[in-house]
Structure 1
Amino acid sequence: MANVKAIAKYFEATIGDHPKMKLREIQRRVASKMHVNVNMTRCRRAKKMVKDKLAGNFVHEFAMLWDYVDELRLNNPGSAIKMAVTRVTPKSPPHFKRFYVCFEALKRGWKEGCRPILGLDGCF
């Protein structure tokens, strides 16, 4: 008999790639791959377990973005680095919105190399 953890582990990649997969499809795949008949409740719990694990990974990776911003600012002084997040309420956790980086070397290269060729004069 296949328990929920075994189903979740065996089909983690499949459910991760297809998060909207129907429970009947999971049940059919368990029957064909593991040669076990399972009920819909086990499939539902396994799918939820995989989704919760993936959501936890997203939270961990989002937390690492702040460290990445700090490292970029430390190692690339003068660079423009902006990360925008949104919050539903002031106490709610932040949701990633956008990330912008313009390295100082690129800005300097543009000003010294390409700008004289284009001849920007301020007229539009």
Structure 2
Amino acid sequence: MSDDTRRPFDVFNGACPSREVLEHVTSRWGSLTLAALSPEPARFGELRRCVDGVSDKMLSQTLKALESDGLVERHVHSTLHVDYRLTPEGERVATAVKDLILALYAVMPDVMEAKARTA
């Protein structure tokens, strides 16, 4: 990605801390969890049902990583009620993830056609 503007972070540099956050956000479970948490908070079980195929362990690890990145907050309402919500930074990233998902939906007919040609 060519850009003359100097930025304090460079995801193309392997030592840049933004690389780790990008990995959390763009992992299968990270991107789906962010999208599932937008527009409203959700409990763990709700997220697990929404993100089909994720195990409890992977969802827990994903939420912890996104929380440590400052993209998700864990709110304890009582000993039986915990929910997860996006921070303002998480909302910004989730919006980009949702835009990517919508772009993917838009090209899927062409993708499916290409796959059929190469099968």
Asked if Structure 1 and Structure 2 have the same fold, meaning a TM-score greater than 0.5 normalized by the shorter chain, the answer is no
TM-score by length of 2: 0.30
Greater relative contact order (Cα 8 A, min sep 6): structure 1 or 2? 2
Structure with max Cα Rg: 1
TM-score by length of 1: 0.30
